Structure 1
Amino acid sequence: MSSVRELRTLTVPRKPDEIPGVLPELRAALDGTGPALLPLAPDDPTARETARSLGAGEPLGDGEDAGDDPTALVIATSGSTGTPKGVLLSSSALRSSARATHDHLGGRGQWLLAMPAHHVAGVQVLVRSVVAGLEPGVVDTRGGFTAGAFAEAAEPLLDTVHRHYTALVPTQLSRLLDPASDPRGLRALRRFDAVLVGGATTAPALLERARAAGVTAITTYGMSETAGGCVYDGTPLAGVGVHVESPEPGRISLSGPTLARGYRHSPDSGRSPNSGHSSEGGHGSGRVAFEGGWFHTGDVGQWRDGHLEVLGRADDMIVTGAVKVVPSSVERALVEHPGVREACVLGGPDPEWGQAVLAAVVPERTAPDERELHGLVKRLLGAAAAPKRFLVVDELPLRGPGKPDKRALLAMFG
């Protein structure tokens, strides 16, 4: 292996039959015989600027690579807090994540890629396939994600003798469960040995619907800095440590073999106690991202019956009239209404309360009565948590692998 390796872009194709062509490059990156790869979407207008800012075509710097454990991937964060950072993922971190996932799910299996592979959740499907030695299936999402396209990709894969897995974001799961969707999608989904659901908060009601429909749905929690999901259904994968600051709920920190090296152009600054370098998880207080073998996320959580419950980002906490409101709690309350399929709650400026609780909802069919929704949240969580304004949308605007785009929603509220 060369003593100095480059970072090169990997434009991940959209056409399903072209995805297998990137697997040899991924294998070479994992074993260090090829360059480190920066996965990018082919139709992303910001891809060129991302490649430039992260130094694609340039050598990896001091602390960004190791001869015995090469950096395989550099994942560009979604940039919700500013300019994207490049998360340095070593071969050992990616392989550890893949092996721990297979062990947790019951053994190696064949994967179906249903989400963009330039995000960590999607590229991990390809890494797991490489580690398992099995070629993945690929859903054609060029026309958007549909139940019919999912079924067409899943059916031939499900006829093989292996165990079968896929990974979805909550919106995709919701579409497959929709009675108005092609029923072949749900029939195929039921046949998977495990369906990982992550990338955004999964409403308990959606999870209950999926499991009641016979889907082996497993929630995942993680981020680019942990090589993707590292806590499944509230339980850490083998070797992963989870710490929640006291008093609970408190900030979540993660440790273990799946942690990234740090960030491109500053692999050590995130680990220095005095650096103040912040991660995509958000550290507005100036606390470090990586320190002493731990990654300090910007998420808030608590332990409930021995399982980690993630309540949301600390930055997303709404303070209205001096009362703290957790958006995910309001979202869970709203989707308990039979007329609400999905919900996204955010804070907007308010001259009287400082912030007002705003709720965008996707109806099951017709728009639900806003007075009913207000009353439901008030009854379950108190008056402060009850949304001041509602917005009914056909679908939530998304960013990254499946997170609601709160900036776009705030603009829609005006």
Structure 2
Amino acid sequence: MAIIPCLAATGAARFPDRIAIDHAGTAINYRTLHQRVSQVEASLKSQGVNRGSHLAAIDNTSLSLILLQLACIRLGAVFAPLSPRFPEQQLQQLLQQIDARFVWTTEGKPVGKVSALTLPDTGTITAPESSPLSDDQAPVSLILTSGSSGFPKAAMHSLANHLASATGSAQCIPLQAGDRWLASLPMFHIGGLAIVFRCLSAGATLVLPRQRDLLDTLREQPVTHLSLVATQLARMLNADDCRSLMAGLKVLLLGGGPMPASLLSQLDAHPVLAFTSYGLTEMASQVTTGPANDQGLSGQLLPQRQLRLREGIIEVRGATRFLGYYHQGQLQTPFNDDGWFHTKDRGRWTQGQLEILGRADNMFICGGENVQPEEIEAALKQHPEIQDALVFPESNPEFGCLPVAVLQCREALPSASELEHFLAPRLARFKRPRRYLSWPSDLTQYGLKISRQSVAKACGLIKTDRD
């Protein structure tokens, strides 16, 4: 256990005039951030929030959420950001699951029997007299993640988990004063929360988007660091003002699986460092990181993480490993005696980098042979016209299941014969899809991951239990 000052206090002491947050066109330096966090801390304390309290906040990424998270760390309370897309009934169930005694909403409305907190007016700010100290091993956050059943689990992290994640990331991805990372992911996603800790740990600037559309945001707000999935990258590269959008970028962190070869070839024309990574909520975001590629390689192991393969399944532990799953007063610790967490992700080491082979619970049987959908998806993404691909099993009386592919293409869907010819040297016959469907036009993507279940449902295919 270590007792350390909070990030806002450290930033105020080390670089008070650097810009911590670019919010709605207003630059908030580290000194002011420290003062605002102190004000929120005092307000929460007066409303009954104290050490061990669980506070839920319903929003995407906002200045209010950042202030609440930092104030909770000072108070020893646990911060739980939740998606505003959850219906009221499910929100009430989630608040009960995580024992939230307090809730903050943008409308200031209570959720069920949990009354809403208020935040102070920041018009008048009183500077704090001292720098608060925090126990870095105490729990500070709850982030929802989907289990194999699809029912949300609440992963609990300590401050030490988040800080180790940020410092390990910095060993691979350069981030320094003057750099600006766009908060393009919601804070209820571990990737969004990780961006907050990376920026504040490095003395960089966290840019809160003013526009809902990513490209409009980039046109208004210059950034140097950006987290994207393949579909977002495709939109940038195909935009008429692509060169202008890419001009100030230093780093792209690409998620959501192997990058299509067509996008990486377009990216070569721009002087930007592009990385891909393997990470999970239970490890506070990144585990491995390396140069972006279309071979499905996810880079090398970052500092303060450990990874091993047991019967082809990835197991992880280290300073970023979460404390456990929290449920109604109980902390479930799904680790073996040596502290390893079984991810259910299949992988192998290739050329010194981790290659993700897919989810063990996505595998299906075709004519007695094991089929891993992610292997087929990676092969399809090497086609120059394919921007994204998902593969599902479809029941068949002779073979048990046959693979069906759903494709998102730059223009028209290639013919089945063309795709068969393309995949023949890359995949065994039983792995090649028997049908190809177009990507659902009305499907909306949130965060880094595509919901497999949503795509399967939209296409009328077999539903899966896991998103």
Q: Could you say which residue in structure 2 is the equivalent of 1:72?
A: 140
- For residue 170 of structure 1, the aligned residue among 230, 250, 253 is 230
Are 1:120 and 2:185 an aligned pair?
Answer: no
Are 1:81 and 2:152 an aligned pair?
Answer: no
- For residue 188 of structure 1, the aligned residue among 225, 245, 261 is 245
| Cα offset, 1:132, TM superposition | 2.8
Instruction: Write the distance in 2 (CA, Å) between the matches of 1:117 and 1:52.
Output: 20
Q: SS of the counterpart of 1:355?
A: strand
| Cα offset, 1:399, TM superposition | 6.0
- For residue 241 of structure 1, the aligned residue among 283, 299, 306 is 306
Instruction: Write the distance in 2 (CA, Å) between the matches of 1:384 and 1:309.
Output: 22
Instruction: Write the distance in 2 (CA, Å) between the matches of 1:120 and 1:348.
Output: 32
Q: Could you say which residue in structure 2 is the equivalent of 1:38?
A: 80
Q: Could you say which residue in structure 2 is the equivalent of 1:222?
A: 279
Q: Could you say which residue in structure 2 is the equivalent of 1:148?
A: 216
Alignment gaps of 5+ in structure 2: 4-48, 103-133, 291-298, 462-467
TM-score (norm 1): 0.81
| Cα offset, 1:28, TM superposition | 2.3
Is the contact between residue 406 and residue 439 of structure 2 (CA under 8 Å) also seen in structure 1? yes
Q: Could you say which residue in structure 2 is the equivalent of 1:371?
A: 417
| Cα offset, 1:394, TM superposition | 5.4
Amino acid aligned to 2:286:
G
Amino acid aligned to 1:92:
A
- For residue 382 of structure 2, the aligned residue among 326, 332, 336 is 336
Q: Could you say which residue in structure 1 is the equivalent of 2:100?
A: 56
| Cα offset, 1:172, TM superposition | 1.5
Deviations 1:18-76 (A, max 9, x none): x223322222233x425211111223324333222222128xxxxxxx95522111001
Is the contact between residue 207 and residue 217 of structure 1 (CA under 8 Å) also seen in structure 2? no
Q: SS of the counterpart of 1:404?
A: coil
1:329–1:207 CA distance, 2 compared to 1 (3 A): farther
Q: SS of the counterpart of 2:101?
A: coil
Instruction: Write the distance in 2 (CA, Å) between the matches of 1:67 and 1:381.
Output: 52
1:89–1:269 CA distance, 2 compared to 1 (3 A): closer
Q: SS of the counterpart of 2:383?
A: coil
The 5 Å alignment of 1:286-305 reads 291-305=337-351
Are 1:205 and 2:261 an aligned pair?
Answer: yes
Is the contact between residue 262 and residue 382 of structure 2 (CA under 8 Å) also seen in structure 1? no
1:349–1:405 CA distance, 2 compared to 1 (3 A): farther
Identity %: 27
Are 1:253 and 2:310 an aligned pair?
Answer: no
Are 1:270 and 2:334 an aligned pair?
Answer: yes
1:403–1:335 CA distance, 2 compared to 1 (3 A): same
Choose 46-55 or 80-89, whichever is displaced more. 46-55
Amino acid aligned to 1:267:
L
Residues matched between the structures, number: 367
Q: Could you say which residue in structure 2 is the equivalent of 1:97?
A: 165
- For residue 10 of structure 1, the aligned residue among 57, 60, 66 is 57
Larger radius of gyration: 2
TM-score (norm 2): 0.72
The Cα RMSD (Å) is 2.6
Are 1:389 and 2:453 an aligned pair?
Answer: no
